[in-house]
Structure 1
Amino acid sequence: MKKNILISAYAISPTKGSEYAAAWNTVVNLAEQHQLWVLYGMSDDHMGDTEGLKLYLEEHVMPTVKFIEVKGGWLANSINLLNKVGLGWFFYFAYYLWQKQALKAAQEIAKTVDIDVVHQLGPIGFREPGFLHQLGKPLVWGPIGGMKIMDGELIATLPVKARLKFIVKNYINRYQLGYSFRIKAAFEKADVLISATLLGRETIWQRFNRDSYYLPEQAAACRVTPAADKFNNIDRQVDLVWSGSLIHRKNLKLCIDALAALKQNNWKLHVLGDGPLRNELENYATTKGIAGNITFYGHLPRKQALQIMVNAHLHMITSIAEDNPAVTFEAMSNGVPTLTIDHCGMGDVLCSKCGIKILPGNHSDMVKEMSCALDNLLCNTKILADMYHTTLVCANEHKWDKRLAKLNKIYDEAILAHARHSIYPTHTLTMT
């Protein structure tokens, strides 16, 4: 049944990836069946940068969606200047103030629109749950992520400064999940919760005694036609692709070390993305003697980067911590299997038909296991050709139409739960 849905999606864009794309694709698919009011704060790089979405909407009509830009105000914008210069934690102070303004905008909408469901959609981090519960409407919060406590073994070989950053983040996660009254209240007040990962679902249950639906924030889309001769010369050269920001959390060094340990040399690695570690990583590949097998592309237009992904035979993820990287689903959508550490959202989504998973552990053990898996694939390239087809089959299970069906079920559940809570104001919601 068609609903009036109010969505808070702070970062949203039709042209960018990651959480921007997750919010955009959710809105676009929901708009096929519902009337939407979408609160947003940026579509480009920083709070208040919204020109990208505005330009898109000038050329594309979306009759069932009304986008409402919410400005953070002078104080939020001033605080966010610190975020712009690299002090990322200050973002949360600015985002807290933005959420206050989002509530005011939502209250104005509710004066003239009979909203059926409110969806606190994104960003997915648990730290800032917003204030939309104050509308007194059925509330869905999620997918919720960012709750992972990082394993000490995974960060042990990082530089001291980077390691300390992750240790501090672990401490903050533990503190906020255990002692933040506002976060605890948000988990209690939402009518339905959605977890981005299975670990997140377990954490919500253990910390807040609430069940939640498991639903990744991303889904399969962007099907592109690969090169017609993609598998013709695969024995001579297997094309590997790694995509992400060149930062410590993405852990490209693990990939480089695994490749340097290979017995086979019939491979080429395409590195998509840029970041502060680019020069260091390029030099590191040189010291390992494999720079000739690696191309660093930097930041490419999305269409061009996607085509490189599609033409590859194997995608690799080496991240220390993630929820659900968009590239996992982009690769899967196009029949490109993924080699990954078996944790986070990647471990939940990928199976043996579409992925090769190595156990998380210390750096040297993961290097050995990853290089062993790669050597096997390089000697038996038919495995990758076969996995192209099975990966496409797996992608069907993660398409947006199936995600939309789950969201519709969740919205109906939220309406029923809200009605029950209005009569019996206790949180006894149990979901399957």
Structure 2
Amino acid sequence: MKRLKVLMSAYSCEPGRGSEPGVGWNVAREVAKYHDVWVLTRPDESREIIEAELARHPIPNLHFVYFALPFWKDSMRWGQSGAMQIHYYLWQIYAYFVARRLHREIGFEISHHVTFVKYSSPSFLALLPVPFVWGPVGGGESAPGAFWQDFSFRARAYETARSFVRWIGERDPFVYLTAKRSAAIRATTEDTAKRLLKMGATDVQVLPESGLSEDEIARLAQYEMPEGSPVRFISMGRLLHWKGFHLGLRAFAKANLPDAEYWLLGDGPERERLTILAQKLGIASQVKFWGRLPREETLRKLEECHVLVHPSLHDSGGWVCLEAMAAGRPVICLDLGGPAVQVTEKTGFKIPARTPDETVSDMAEAMVRLVRDSQLRKSMGRSGQLLVKNHHSWQVKGKRLVQLYEEIVARQKAIAQTINPKIV
């Protein structure tokens, strides 16, 4: 197929980053290897970083269109607050008018909303007269009700507010319109896919948002599994209630592994509660809180450990699971959200999330098995590396996305020719 003219909306986009910025940058970069891409994004977040990267490594077919709301330019000062979510919504409206003007000049053949990865907020690019791809989109996951018993008042208030905001978003007519007008939707989890189908979406694929470059995969593949004792479990991420690290500590205590250690990397509002919990459980001497570390140091800690524990209760992504598998480390996660889409029975343990006590017991059993069976650790590690290499590199994801574009555009042209045979 000839080169397509592709329009992308990437509210968050930055090279060299993970999470939302990394999704925006990597999707745009990979598609630009095959087609001509224009990306709508904000100047205040990463314009200097993007332009510096393009100066070092030019991508001729990748064009960025920067714009800010004329009455609210500094979106980043609000962090992840509710004000930023309002800014995001208004920016999407403004993006439509910028996109409509560009479409008159360039004549796009397909449009794609990439970030934010949020299913309950609309993309007005769906209103353009070209096929529209939505996603990755997530956010449809919820912490199972039985697990709320471990939450603080503040945590319960957060979960309640999150559910309420999502409930409002699902009743936004523009969100419905986005879902209905999408030629294809890429949902990060089964939970999000179910919500989108209820909103009238027809073509929903469940695909992880996360990815790694081939260079990252090759580098992580060099990490050898540590030999001997102690066997170290590691959890990495912000210390938030919904990350479920309290379940990991309880499971480690229940496993009763005197020659093992549990390392937690990250910081956040739950750190004090987790520290107190480790003391109450009698495992404080085996648990190390390393705090928030630079990425390079974080990966060095991963190299020193044997197993990743990621008991998140509603994670749309789960980048750390991909990194651990690429490093040849088995993963213990809950059978929820993004990690459940990434991890398989060959690469780790997906623990059912019915009740906290059952989950803790099952996690403890998995920990015991992995401590006692070094061959199991190694075989799961090898399977994880193969899985990431074959399915989760940005290069593989880019090729599959391009194939989706080409199928959609070809289908659209076939329909148009059926209606008007004179169309070539």
- Shared fold, TM over 0.5: yes
Per the alignment, residue 151 of structure 2 pairs with: 158
Shift in alpha-carbon separation, 1:122–1:5, aligned structure 2, 3 A:
same
1:249 lines up with 2:259 in the alignment: no
Match of 1:117 among 102, 110, 114: 110
What is the CA distance between 1:404 and its match in structure 2? 2.4
Is structure 2 residue 285 aligned with structure 1 residue 292?
Answer: yes
2:422 matched residue in structure 1: none
Report the alpha carbon displacement of residue 341 of structure 1 after superposing the two structures with TM: 0.6
Distance (whole Å) between structure 2 residues aligned to residue 173 and residue 421 of structure 1: 35
1:264 to 1:205, Cα distance in 2 relative to 1, 3 A: same
- Separation of aligned partners in 2, 1:126 and 1:228: 36
Partner of 2:13: 12
For the Cα contact (< 8 Å) 2:247–2:360, is it kept in 1? yes
Residue 417 to residue 183, structure 1, CA distance change in 2 (3 Å): farther
Map of 1:200 onto structure 2? 192
Question: Which letter maps to 1:216?
Answer: P
Q: Normalising by structure 2, what TM-score?
A: 0.88
Determine if contact 2:223/2:303 at 8 Å carries over to the other structure: no
Q: 1:37-88: CA deviations, max 9, x gaps?
A: 111226xxxx64644434434433222211222213333647x75x44x7x2
* 1:157 shift after superposition: 1.5
Does 2:394 align with 1:400?
Answer: yes
| CA distance in 2 between partners of 1:263 and 1:211 (Å) | 47
Please say if 1:410 is aligned against 2:407.
no
Partner of 2:63: 66
Q: Report if aligned partners of 1:70, 1:101 keep a CA contact under 8 Å in 2.
A: no
Instruction: Report the alpha carbon displacement of residue 228 of structure 1 after superposing the two structures with TM.
Output: 6.7
Q: How many residues align?
A: 414
Separation of aligned partners in 2, 1:5 and 1:326: 27
Tell me the SS of whatever aligns to 2:328: coil
Structure 2 residue runs of 5 or longer lacking an equivalent are 420-424
Where structure 1 has 5 or more consecutive residues not aligned to the other structure, the ranges are 426-432
Q: Which amino acid aligns with 1:371?
A: A
Q: Distance in 1 between matches of 2:223 and 2:17?
A: 27
Contact 1:262–1:375 (CA under 8 A) maintained in structure 2: yes
1:231 corresponds to: 226
Q: Does 1:361 align with 2:369?
A: no
Once the two structures are TM-superposed, the CA of residue 107 in structure 1 deviates from its matched residue by: 3.0
Offset, 1:92 = 1.7
Map of 2:366 onto structure 1: 373
| Contact 1:226/1:307 (<8 A) preserved | no
The answer on whether the counterparts of 1:139 and 1:414 sit within 8 Å (CA) in structure 2 is: no
> Contact 1:226 / 1:311 at 8 angstroms: preserved in 2?
no
* Matched residue type, 1:411: Y
Q: Which one-letter code corresponds to 2:35 in the other structure?
A: H
**Structure 1 residues 66 and 118 mapped into 2: Cα distance closer, same or farther (>3 Å)?**
same
1:142 and 1:299, CA in 2 relative to 1: closer, same or farther beyond 3 A?
same
Question: What displacement does 1:362 show?
Answer: 2.1
Q: 2: distance between equivalents of 1:423 and 1:207?
A: 30
In 1: Cα distance, 2:25 partner to 2:286 partner: 36
**Residue 407 (structure 1) shift:** 0.9
Per-residue CA deviation, residues 114-169 of structure 1 (Å, 9 max, x unaligned), is 32211111111112222112332221111221122432112222012211321332
Partner of 1:146: 139
The answer (yes or no) to whether the contact 1:156–1:163 under 8 Å persists in 2 is no
Listed one character per residue, the Cα deviations across residues 386-431 of structure 1 (whole Å, up to 9, x for unaligned) are: 2221222222233334322321232123324545777999xxxxxx
How far the C-alpha of 1:263 sits from its partner, in A, is 1.8
Letter in structure 1 aligned against 2:369 = N
Is 1:142–1:194's contact at 8 Å kept on the other side of the alignment? yes
The 5 A counterparts of 1:42-81 are: 48=45, 50-75=47-72, 77=74
Q: Percent of counterpart pairs with the same letter?
A: 24
For residues 93 and 223 of structure 2, the distance between their equivalents in structure 1, rounded to whole angstroms, comes to 52
**Superposition CA RMSD, Å:** 2.6
Aligned to 1:118, the other structure's residue is in SS state: strand
Partner of 1:62: helix, strand, or coil?
coil
In structure 2, what is the Cα distance between the partners aligned to 1:276 and 1:145? 24
Determine the structure 2 residue equivalent to 1:31: 32
Query: Which residue of 2 is the match for residue 135 of structure 1?
Result: 128
**Alpha-carbon distance, 1:186 to partner:** 1.1
Relative distance call for 1:281 and 1:49 in structure 2 (3 A) is farther
Aligned partner of 1:313 among 303, 306, 315: 306
> Quick one: which of 211, 214, 221 aligns to 2:206?
214
Change (3 A) 1:400 1:16: closer
Change (3 A) 1:97 1:63: same
**SS of the counterpart of 1:269?**
strand
CA–CA separation in structure 1 for the residues paired with 2:413 and 2:130:
10
Distance across 2 between alignment mates of 1:299 and 1:60: 31
Q: 2:297 & 2:60 partners in 1: Cα distance? A: 30
TM-score normalised by structure 1 residue count: 0.87
SS at match of 1:74: coil
Deviation at 1:175, TM superposition (A): 4.3
Distance in 2, Cα, partners of 1:326 & 1:306: 13
1:259 to 243, 252, 261: 252
Structure 1 residues 150 and 251: alpha-carbon distance in aligned structure 2, compared to 1, 3 A threshold: closer
Tell whether the 8 Å contact from 1:41 to 1:72 is kept in structure 2 after alignment: no
Please say if residues 186 and 204 of structure 2, whose CA atoms lie closer than 8 Å, have aligned partners that are also in contact: yes
For residues 223 and 86 of structure 2, what CA distance do their matches in structure 1 show? Answer: 50
Which residue does 1:104 correspond to in 2? 97
The DSSP-based 3-state class of the residue aligned with 1:208 is coil
